[in-house]
């Protein structure tokens, strides 16, 4: 897909041509939207609806994680802590400061985004395994703080967050929150998509490929990583805050759990970290499976075993995720490029003059001839 | 002829180790290819790192277009007009050729100028236009190298630093790469070239510098260096020295 940052792409070439693949994607997107809007009406009982909200929450968290993981390649296991901060921030602003629920949610998300500046400033100085370890440390430190500071956070007794709509019955409460989660997810997806098509996104993707090389090309790598980390933290905190308002009961052991971050990574990896909808797809699979295992096998650690197995399968057989694997599968049915022989400048001019089709192919960032494995939005 | 880049009396090294470059001076005239040759460890790649700002010299001066830029980092050197094509394959493999080339012009604010540069590099390197939408990692080694060249030319640099452009390429791809070096020079870009394939590089270059022990040992027109039998023996992979004569019993 041509990037919006491509100065060479003419406005005509940038206008999306209606290809079968594009039409299929459009239809699929429409189906997803219709399914999301109709799910609350189709859910047979409030439990299924609440389980659906949990999956939607995972999708939102995983998409938020993917701002950092997908664009820069930095694997954070600490996003559970950012969600926990958002949840506790919202809860405490409601209970201690008396702010209206959704104002508290907004303030908490902004405060966590602001906190992400010094956190990111310290954490993003290291790469690879070191960054992962720093992100884990963030979860563990915050767990200790929120458990120990019982006078303020409620400690191990937990924190009860008043419901924003006390007059609503539980099914109606779920129904409203389903749409709130879906709306926030749509916003996160839209922002991810906009970044993906921007000059900023191009710089981020270069960081993911090779940070040193990106820096040598004049990309302000550290500033870019920090900005996208703050955006990611803001959305993650908002997801945590919405969860607090919906669920109404917070426990530091669950809010600041290393497992949450691990699930988010697994979901994004499963769907495809380079894809807009990859984390959403991963959350649908993993979130649903987690809920199923918990219901069917109770307190056994079977859901953890299944999660570990799934991670192994993904790493072994679909390292780029399901969506890129599907895209690559579809590409196999496209006609192969006839030759990779280089052409001279004169031949190329002739080809260009010969037909608009060749021009379109050159202007597009991913012609059918090339078995591209990247998944566009 | 005015120099596009000039390194004067450079001392440089890594960490606290002994200096690699010991009073090196080299200049690249506008519109010419200057080739650095020499044995392993002579400091050829280090010269390019110093010239592109990746390594700060301990002493000495760097001038680009007559302007002092000593001690500037890679981004400032890029803005000053010095582009560096690193050793080995340095394309972004999982990004398209288009994205790779556009990243070369990332610092450009003038969109119209960037668009003109895209057309220019497409014209100069037909393979870039031909494979514009392909993932760069799917291209052959020689094609990837041309994408790197195109990327480096996006900012319309005064001088391009090429570090071992033929590394890992077969003879045919190597020939194409050197052809493209000449085309870059003909298009008005000065080139400072470091190459293990010294004979091939000197055949392409206008001027040559033989480095040894961190300074320029001999310099002059590349054709003269090639013709010098002593240099050929010492630095250009000439015939091995005659075996010692063992007296017959």
| Burial annotation A101-136 (CB, 10 A radius, 16+ → b, else e) | beebbbbbbebbbebbeebbeebbeeeeeebbebbb
Nearest CA in chain A to B135: A372
Q: Within 10 A of B107 (CB to CB), how many other CB atoms are there?
A: 15
- Contact predicate B162/B196, CB 8 Å: no
What pLDDT, on the 0 to 100 scale, is given for residue A9? 42
Give B-chain residues touching A371 at CB under 8 angstroms: 138
Least confident of A219-228, A307-316, B166-175, B232-241: B232-241
* Predicted confidence (pLDDT) per residue in B71-127, tens digit: 898 888 988 999 988 887 789 999 999 999 999 999 888 889 999 999 999 988 888
- A2 band by pLDDT with thresholds 50, 70 and 90: very low
* Predicted confidence (pLDDT) per residue in B135-154, tens digit: 999 998 888 988 998 999 89
- Smallest Cβ distance to B133: which of A213, A344, A364? A364
What pLDDT, on the 0 to 100 scale, is given for residue A212? 86
Burial of A331 (0-12, 13-18, 19+ CB in 10 A): middle
- In angstroms, rounded to a whole number, what is the distance separating the alpha carbons of residues B218 and B161? 20
Please state the rounded mean pLDDT for residues A107-122.
96
Any domain includes A228: yes
- In angstroms, rounded to a whole number, what is the distance separating the alpha carbons of residues B226 and B230? 10
How many domains is chain A partitioned into structurally?
1
pLDDT at A11 over 60: no
pTM value is 0.80
Query: What Cα–Cα distance (Å) separates residue A16 from each residue in A19, A361, B161?
Result: 9, 13, 39
Q: Chain A to chain B, count of Cβ pairs less than 8 Å apart?
A: 123
How much is the mean pLDDT over chain B? 87
- In angstroms, rounded to a whole number, what is the distance separating the alpha carbons of residues B139 and B173? 12
Q: Is B111 on the interface with A (CB under 8 A)?
A: yes
How are beta strands B33-37 and B190-194 bridged, if at all?
A: parallel
Nearest CA in chain B to A361: B133
Among B70, B66, B80, B35, CA closest to B50: B70
Any domain includes A343: no
CA A17, distance to chain mean position in Å, is: 28
Any domain includes A91: yes
Cβ neighbours of residue B50 closer than 8 Å, sequence gap 6 or more: B7, B10, B12, B21, B56, B57, B62
- A297 band by pLDDT with thresholds 50, 70 and 90: confident
What pLDDT, on the 0 to 100 scale, is given for residue A13? 42
Alpha-helical segments (H) within B187-249: 198-204, 222-227, 229-235
Chain B interface, best mutation among A11, A204, A218, A354, by max B CB count within 10 A:
A218
- Smallest Cβ distance to A219: which of B79, B94, B106? B106
Any domain includes A265: no
Any domain includes A26: no
Any domain includes A283: no
Percent of chain A with pLDDT over 90: 60
- A345 band by pLDDT with thresholds 50, 70 and 90: low
pLDDT at A298 over 80: no
- A351 band by pLDDT with thresholds 50, 70 and 90: low
Q: Is B213 on the interface with A (CB under 8 A)?
A: no
Q: Is B123 on the interface with A (CB under 8 A)?
A: yes
* Predicted confidence (pLDDT) per residue in B51-78, tens digit: 999 899 999 999 998 899 998 988 889 8
Residue written as token pair 């426990």 = A251
- In angstroms, rounded to a whole number, what is the distance separating the alpha carbons of residues B144 and B132? 12
Q: Beta partners for B35?
A: B193, B208
The terminus-to-terminus CA distance of chain B in angstroms comes to: 62
Any domain includes A130: yes
Instruction: Check residue B83 and give left, alpha or beta (phi > 0: left; psi -120 to 50: alpha).
Output: beta
- Contact predicate B85/B249, CB 8 Å: no
Highest mean pLDDT among A234-243, A273-282, A311-320, B237-246: A234-243
Query: What Cα–Cα distance (Å) separates residue A203 from each residue in A199, A272, B73, B103, B107?
Result: 6, 20, 19, 7, 11
Chain B interface, best mutation among A7, A223, A347, A371, by max B CB count within 10 A:
A7
Q: Which domain holds residue A212?
A: 59-258
Distance between B2 CA and the closest CA of chain A, angstroms: 26
pLDDT at A348 over 90: no
A214 vs A351: which has the higher pLDDT:
A214
Please state the rounded mean pLDDT for residues A204-226.
91
pLDDT at A338 over 60: no
Least confident of A16-30, A89-103, A225-239: A16-30
Any domain includes A176: yes
Least confident of A73-82, A131-140, B223-232: B223-232
How much is the mean pLDDT over chain A? 85
Give A-chain residues touching B79 at CB under 8 angstroms: 218
CA B1, distance to chain mean position in Å, is: 20
Give A-chain residues touching B92 at CB under 8 angstroms: 205-206, 209-210, 213
Would you call B134 and A370 a contact, using CB atoms and an 8 Å cutoff? yes
Distance between B75 CA and the closest CA of chain A, angstroms: 5
- Smallest Cβ distance to A7: which of B74, B118, B126? B118
- Smallest Cβ distance to A218: which of B98, B107, B118? B107
- In angstroms, rounded to a whole number, what is the distance separating the alpha carbons of residues B56 and B177? 29
* Predicted confidence (pLDDT) per residue in B22-60, tens digit: 999 999 999 899 999 888 888 899 999 999 998 999 999
Q: Is A368 on the interface with B (CB under 8 A)?
A: no
Please state the rounded mean pLDDT for residues A165-193.
95
Angle value at C-alpha B82, between B80 and B88, nearest 5 degrees: 150
- In angstroms, rounded to a whole number, what is the distance separating the alpha carbons of residues A148 and A151? 9
Least confident of A56-65, A231-240, B227-236: B227-236
């Amino acid at each position: 897909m041509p990037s919006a940052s491509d100065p060479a792409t003419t406005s005509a070439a940038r206008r999306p041509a209606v290809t079968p693949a594009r039409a299929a994607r459009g239809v699929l997107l429409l189906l997803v939207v219709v399914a999301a809007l109709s799910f609350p009406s189709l859910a047979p009982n409030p439990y299924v609806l609440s389980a659906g909200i949990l999956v939607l929450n995972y999708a939102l968290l995983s998409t938020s994680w993917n701002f950092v993981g997908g664009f820069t390649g930095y694997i954070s296991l600490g996003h559970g802590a950012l969600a926990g901060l958002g949840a506790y921030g919202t809860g405490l602003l409601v209970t201690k400061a008396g702010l209206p629920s959704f104002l508290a949610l907004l303030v908490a998300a902004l405060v966590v985004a602001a906190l992400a500046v010094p956190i990111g400033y310290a954490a993003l100085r290291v790469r690879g395994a070191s960054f992962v370890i720093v992100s884990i440390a963030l979860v563990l430190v915050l767990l200790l703080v929120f458990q120990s500071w019982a006078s303020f956070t409620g400690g191990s007794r937990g924190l009860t967050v008043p419901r924003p709509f006390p007059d609503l019955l539980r099914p109606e409460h779920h129904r409203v929150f389903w749409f709130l989660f879906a709306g926030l997810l749509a916003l996160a997806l839209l922002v991810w998509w906009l970044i993906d098509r921007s000059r900023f996104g191009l710089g981020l993707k270069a960081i993911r490929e090779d940070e040193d090389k990106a820096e040598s090309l004049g990309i302000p790598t550290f500033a870019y990583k920090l900005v996208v980390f703050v955006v990611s933290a803001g959305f993650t905190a908002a997801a945590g805050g919405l969860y607090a308002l919906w669920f109404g009961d917070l426990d530091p052991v669950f809010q600041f759990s290393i497992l949450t971050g691990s699930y988010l990574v697994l979901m994004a990896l499963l769907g495809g970290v380079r894809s807009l909808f990859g984390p959403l797809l991963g959350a649908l699979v993993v979130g649903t499976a987690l809920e199923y295992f918990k219901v069917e096998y109770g307190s056994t650690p079977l859901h953890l075993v299944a999660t570990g197995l799934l991670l192994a399968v993904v790493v072994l057989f679909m390292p780029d995720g399901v969506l890129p694997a599907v895209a690559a599968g579809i590409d196999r049915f496209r006609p192969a490029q006839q030759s990779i022989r280089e052409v001279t400048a004169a031949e190329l001019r002739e080809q260009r003059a010969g037909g608009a089709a060749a021009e379109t192919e050159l202007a597009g960032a991913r012609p059918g001839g090339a078995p591209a494995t990247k998944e566009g939005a | 002829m005015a120099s596009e880049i000039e390194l004067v009396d450079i001392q440089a090294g890594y960490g606290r180790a002994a200096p690699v470059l010991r009073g090196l001076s080299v200049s690249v005239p506008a519109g010419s290819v200057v080739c650095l040759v020499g044995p392993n460890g002579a400091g050829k790649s280090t010269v390019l790192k110093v010239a592109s700002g990746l390594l700060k010299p301990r002493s000495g001066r760097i001038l680009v277009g007559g302007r002092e830029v000593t001690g500037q980092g890679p981004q400032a050197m890029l803005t000053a007009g010095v582009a560096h094509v690193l050793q080995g394959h340095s394309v972004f493999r999982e990004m398209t050729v288009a994205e790779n080339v556009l990243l070369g012009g990332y610092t450009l604010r003038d969109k119209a100028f960037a668009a003109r540069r895209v057309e220019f590099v497409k014209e100069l390197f037909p393979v870039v236009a031909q494979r514009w939408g392909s993932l760069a990692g799917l291209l052959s080694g020689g094609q990837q190298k041309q994408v790197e060249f195109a990327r480096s030319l996006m900012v319309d640099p005064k001088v391009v630093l090429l570090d071992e452009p033929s590394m890992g390429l077969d003879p045919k791809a190597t020939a194409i790469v050197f052809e493209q070096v000449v085309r870059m020079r003909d298009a008005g870009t000065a080139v400072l070239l470091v190459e293990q394939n010294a004979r091939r590089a000197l055949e392409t270059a206008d001027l040559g510098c033989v480095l040894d022990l961190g300074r320029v040992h001999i310099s002059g027109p590349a054709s003269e260096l090639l013709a010098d039998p002593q240099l050929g023996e010492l630095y250009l992979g000439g015939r091995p020295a005659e075996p010692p004569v063992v007296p017959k019993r």
